[in-house]
Amino acid sequence: MSNTHDNPYARLERIFHEPGRLTIMSNLLGAIDGLTFTELKEACELTDGNLSRHLSALENAKAVHIKKSFAGSRPQTTISLSKQGREDFMAYLQALEAVLLDAAEKVAVQDGKPAPKRTLFSTRLANA
Amino acid sequence: MSNTHDNPYARLERIFHEPGRLTIMSNLLGAIDGLTFTELKEACELTDGNLSRHLSALENAKAVHIKKSFAGSRPQTTISLSKQGREDFMAYLQALEAVLLDAAEKVAVQDGKPAPKRTLFSTRLANA
Residue range B57-92, pLDDT digits in tens:
999 999 999 999 998 999 999 999 999 999 999 999
What pLDDT, on the 0 to 100 scale, is given for residue B128?
36
As a whole number of angstroms, the distance between CA B23 and CA B17 comes to 10
Whole-number Cα distances in Å, A65 to A43, A61, A90: 18, 10, 17
CA distances, A61 to each of B14, B45, B62, B104 (Å): 23, 27, 36, 23
Mutate to test the interface with B, among A1, A6, A7, A9 (most CBs of B within 10 A): A9
How far is the alpha carbon of A79 from chain B, nearest alpha carbon, in Å?
16
Q: How far is A101 from chain B (nearest CA, A)?
A: 8
Dist CA B32 CA B23 (whole Å): 16
Helix axes B48-60, B19-29, angle to 10 degrees: 80
Please indicate whether, in this complex, the C-beta atoms of A30 and B109 are within 8 angstroms of each other.
Answer: yes
Please state the domain extents for chain A.
Answer: 9-127
pLDDT of A1 > 50? The answer is no
CA–CA distances in Å: residue B39 to residues A97, B24, B44? 24, 11, 9
Pick the CATH number of B9-127 from 3.30.930.10, 3.50.50.60, 3.40.50.150, 1.10.10.10: 1.10.10.10
Query: Do A29 and B103 make contact, defined as CB atoms within 8 angstroms?
Result: yes
**A114 vs A39 pLDDT, higher one:** A39
Residue A119 banded pLDDT, cuts 50, 70, 90: low
Report the percent of chain A where pLDDT is more than 70: 87
- Measured distance CA(B11)–CA(B14) in Å, rounded: 9
What pLDDT score does B5 carry? Answer: 55
Name the interface residues of B facing A (CB cutoff 8 Å): 1-2, 4, 7, 9-10, 12, 14, 17, 19-20, 22-23, 26-27, 29-30, 32, 44-45, 93, 96-97, 99-107, 109-110, 116, 118, 120-121, 124
Give pLDDT tens digits along chain B (128 positions): 344 457 888 888 889 999 999 999 999 998 989 999 999 999 999 999 999 999 999 999 999 999 999 989 999 999 999 999 999 999 999 899 889 888 888 888 777 777 776 656 654 443 33
Q: Nearest CB to B120: which of A9, A45, A118?
A: A118
pLDDT of B78 reads 97
In this structure, is the dihedral angle defined by the CA atoms of residues A123, A25, B92 and A18, taken in order, positive or negative? positive
pLDDT in tens, A6-63: 788 888 888 999 999 999 999 999 898 999 999 999 999 999 999 999 999 999 999 9
- Give, as one character, the DSSP assignment of residue B29: H
DSSP state of B10: T
User: Distance between CA atoms of B36 and B26, rounded to whole angstroms?
Assistant: 15
- Give the gap in angstroms from C-alpha A9 to the nearest C-alpha of chain B: 6
Residues from chain A that touch B115, judged by Cβ atoms under 8 A, are none
Cα dihedral A7, A8, A11, A15 sign: negative
Closest residue to B45, CB basis, from A7, A107, A118: A7
Q: Return the amino acid letter for A103.
A: A
Q: What is the pLDDT of residue A107?
A: 83
The answer to whether residues A52 and A40 touch, using CB atoms and an 8 Å cutoff, is: no
Shortest Cα distance, chain B CAs vs residue A74, angstroms: 24
pLDDT for B2: 41
